[in-house]
């Protein structure tokens, strides 16, 4: 699907949203429970996922992809196949269903983010979005992401800004300084913070191997 096709898809959902299909906030909250993937299209996070997808280049893998938002949008924008991996069976079922419905080239699979069954140096871009703050072993996840990247490949990491997105499931919080130190420790270079969402750090960096 090319950019024009994505634009038509986007206009359709915006029209439904603005025309009042889920204008009522109570209905939107209900939709998030019944079909969170559809709610994601309609809600405020759409611009965030679109912003991340625009940072992606080449062959792409989304680790901890949830219900495949970034993978799907990138595939729509570029027409290139994207890959998504998550431990949630339900999330992957939603992602597969939507990829089929919109005829976008995405491959989704259930798996551990610490041990992904894909050979090394397979991707140009790997994304860890809203994942590291949930993990006991953040370095293990980063090492696996770096393993999948080709020399000079791009790693995109997104985590909540400290105190901006409270969640009882978070095992740590990040400041700009602590996140930069973590990425430098992993021998990543050209670390760049992107102004996409005031509540989240979105950082791209290049692997040095």
What confidence category does residue 21 fall into, taking pLDDT thresholds of 50, 70 and 90?
very low
The 3-state secondary structure of the chain reads CCHHHHHHHHHHHHHHHHCCCCCCHHHHHHHHHHCHHHHHHHCCCHHHHHHHHCCCCCCEEEECCCCCHHHHHHHHHHCCCEEEEECCHHHHHHHHHHHHHHCCCEEEEECECCECCCCCCCEEEEEEECCHHHCCCHHHHHHHHHHHEEEEEEEEEEEEECCCCCCCCCCCCECHHHHHHHHHHCCEEEEEEEEEECCEEEEEEEECC
Q: Are residues 117 and 156 in the same domain?
A: yes
Task: Kindly state the average pLDDT of the residues 114-138.
Answer: 96
Mean pLDDT of the chain: 84
Q: Are residues 17 and 94 in the same domain?
A: no
pLDDT digits (tens, 9 = 90+) for 146-200: 999 999 999 999 999 999 998 899 999 999 999 999 999 998 999 999 999 999 9
pLDDT at 58: 97
Task: Kindly state the average pLDDT of the residues 117-140.
Answer: 96
Q: Are residues 54 and 36 in the same domain?
A: no
Task: Kindly state the average pLDDT of the residues 41-56.
Answer: 79
Q: Are residues 161 and 96 in the same domain?
A: yes
Q: Are residues 58 and 103 in the same domain?
A: yes
| Domain assignment of residue 99, given as a range | 46-207
Based on the structure, what is the number of domains in the chain?
2
Q: Are residues 142 and 178 in the same domain?
A: yes
Q: Are residues 11 and 74 in the same domain?
A: no
DSSP-derived pairing of the beta strands 149-160 and 200-207: antiparallel
pLDDT at 8: 61
CATH number of residue 93's parent domain: 3.40.50.150
pLDDT at 2: 52
pLDDT at 83: 97
Res 117 pLDDT > 60: yes
Q: Are residues 36 and 56 in the same domain?
A: no
Q: Are residues 68 and 160 in the same domain?
A: yes
Q: Are residues 39 and 50 in the same domain?
A: no
Q: Are residues 33 and 61 in the same domain?
A: no
Q: Which tops the pLDDT comparison, 6 or 144?
A: 144
Q: Are residues 120 and 37 in the same domain?
A: no
What confidence category does residue 134 fall into, taking pLDDT thresholds of 50, 70 and 90?
very high
Task: Kindly state the average pLDDT of the residues 104-127.
Answer: 95
Task: Kindly state the average pLDDT of the residues 58-87.
Answer: 91
pLDDT at 17: 46
Res 36 pLDDT > 60: no
């Amino acid at each position: 699907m090319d950019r024009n096709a994505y634009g038509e898809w986007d206009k359709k959902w915006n029209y439904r949203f603005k025309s009042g299909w889920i204008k009522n906030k109570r209905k939107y909250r209900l939709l998030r429970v019944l079909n969170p993937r559809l709610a994601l299209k309609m809600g405020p996070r759409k611009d965030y996922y679109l912003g991340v997808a625009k940072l992606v280049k080449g062959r792409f893998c989304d680790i901890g992809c949830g219900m495949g938002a970034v993978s799907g949008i990138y595939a729509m924008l570029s027409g290139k196949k994207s890959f998504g991996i998550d431990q949630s069976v339900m999330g992957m079922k939603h992602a597969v269903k939507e990829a089929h419905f919109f005829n976008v080239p995405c491959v989704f699979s259930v798996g551990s983010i610490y041990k992904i069954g894909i050979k090394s140096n397979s991707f140009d871009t790997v994304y860890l979005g809203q994942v590291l703050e949930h993990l006991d072993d953040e370095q293990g996840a980063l090492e696996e992401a770096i393993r999948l990247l080709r020399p000079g490949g791009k790693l995109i990491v997104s985590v909540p800004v400290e105190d901006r997105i409270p969640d009882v499931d978070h095992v740590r919080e990040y400041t700009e300084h602590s996140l930069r130190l973590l990425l430098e420790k992993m021998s990543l270079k050209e670390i760049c913070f992107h102004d996409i969402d005031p509540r989240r750090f979105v950082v791209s960096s290049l692997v040095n191997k």
